[in-house]
Amino acid sequence: MSDLQTRRDLLHRERADLAPAGDEGAVMSFGDHIEELRRRLLFGLLGAVPIFALAVYYGQSILEFLVLPVQNALRHEGQRPTLQATNVLETFFSYFKIAGIVTLLLAGPWLLWQLWKFVAPGLYQHERRFAYLLVPMSALLTILGIVFLYFIILPAMLKFFVHFGSEMGRPVTPIIGALPEGVTLPVYPVLEGDPKDPAVGAVWINRLLNELRCNVALPGQPPVIMGMPLTKGAGIEQQYRIKEYLDLFLSMMLAFAGGFQTPVLVMLLGWAGVIDRAMLKHYRKHVVLICAVAAAILTPTPDPLTMSLLAIPLYLLFELGGFLLWALPADRVARGLRPKKEGDVDAGD
């Protein structure tokens, strides 16, 4: 009697897993599907509007945060840490472009949730378990890719390129020895910032900005600080446009966000039966070449340094995907990660 009851329980569980997530017996017409899709799109857009408003409100702080790596790289090489805008609308469009990208990143989970609410009722229970695992993993890997780019790859890359440009054709300044008779050099104080309430006509050097600064206000008025850039002698002056830098950053962000999806891709191919653990081990050397080619395609610059900085993490992520494929096979995910029992149906059955 107990064996019969156990089989009944297993059969009931299998039927529950293979049942669609929607209401039993509910069938939606094509018009109902279109109406539901329209409703989910409307909810998604309404949820993104306040996020876009906040992104526009904090756009200046976001833009300052994004240009900080290139400013630090320029400052490190003794160049003026400022970017150029050669078009009247360039800064304005860059501002709203960043606000739009931030909106997509922050509103992405909400938009995906609305898409999931539209798709989930038509999926089986075991199919939903795959989505519950892959979607959060993909989101986490995307965040890790962007963080890895901003804090590790981008500073190293910019430091290399700014230094390379600064050293190219650097002029040699001769030393004349003793000063001519009656000539004395002016001495300006070197500060890490601007002094508080400087006197009218006071002059100093701001090391943080690499500028010779002066208070040009009229007597009795608040300070009006103006400056002149100070740079090291260089054969090629480093002057970057805000639009070109942001385009570089955004293209690399997409490349790293896509490259960091390697574990998800390996798991999907493994679950689909296209690859297995033995194949991954056998073609490991080929994967190294594929990672190098993918890095060359995904990175916007052709230099070996940038490509290797992406190729190495890609290979490590490939190994992570192989480990996850071993730890989370398709039949185990379909069961909800519970131990396999006699009579369970595999995901492909």
pLDDT at residue 342, rounded to an integer: 58
Residue 77 falls inside a structural domain: no
Residue 120 falls inside a structural domain: no
pLDDT at residue 11, rounded to an integer: 47
Residue 84 falls inside a structural domain: no
Judge whether 190 and 205 are in contact, CB under 8 Å.
yes
Residue-wise pLDDT for 268-320, tens only, equals 999 999 999 899 999 999 999 988 888 887 776 667 777 788 889 989 999 99
pLDDT at 13 over 80: no
Rounded to two decimals, the pTM is: 0.82
Of residues 237 and 136, the one with the higher pLDDT is 136
Query: Which of 76-80, 184-188, 214-218 bottoms out in mean pLDDT, i.e. has the lowest?
Result: 76-80
Number of structural domains found in the chain: 1
Residue-wise pLDDT for 223-247, tens only, equals 999 999 888 877 777 889 999 999 9
Q: Which long-range contacts (CB under 8 A, 24 or more apart) does 190-194 make?
A: 194/225
pLDDT at 86 over 70: yes
Average pLDDT along the chain:
85
Across 165-179, average pLDDT: 78
For the ranges 179-183, 194-198, 253-257, 330-334, the one whose mean pLDDT is highest: 194-198
pLDDT at 166 over 90: no
Residue 105 falls inside a structural domain: no
Residue 210 falls inside a structural domain: yes
Distance (Å, whole) CA 63 – CA 69: 11
Res. 59 pLDDT band, cuts 50 70 90: very high
Residue 211 falls inside a structural domain: yes
Total residues found in the chain within this entry: 349
Distance (Å, whole) CA 20 – CA 75: 59
Residue 214 falls inside a structural domain: yes
CA 70 to each of CA 80, 125, 160, 183, 199: distance values in angstroms, whole numbers, following the listed order: 11, 49, 11, 39, 33
For 223, the domain range is: 190-229
Distance (Å, whole) CA 237 – CA 168: 10
Judge whether 142 and 260 are in contact, CB under 8 Å.
yes
pLDDT at residue 294, rounded to an integer: 83
Query: Which of 37-46, 119-128, 248-257 bottoms out in mean pLDDT, i.e. has the lowest?
Result: 119-128
pLDDT at 25 over 50: no
Residue 67 falls inside a structural domain: no
pLDDT at residue 24, rounded to an integer: 45
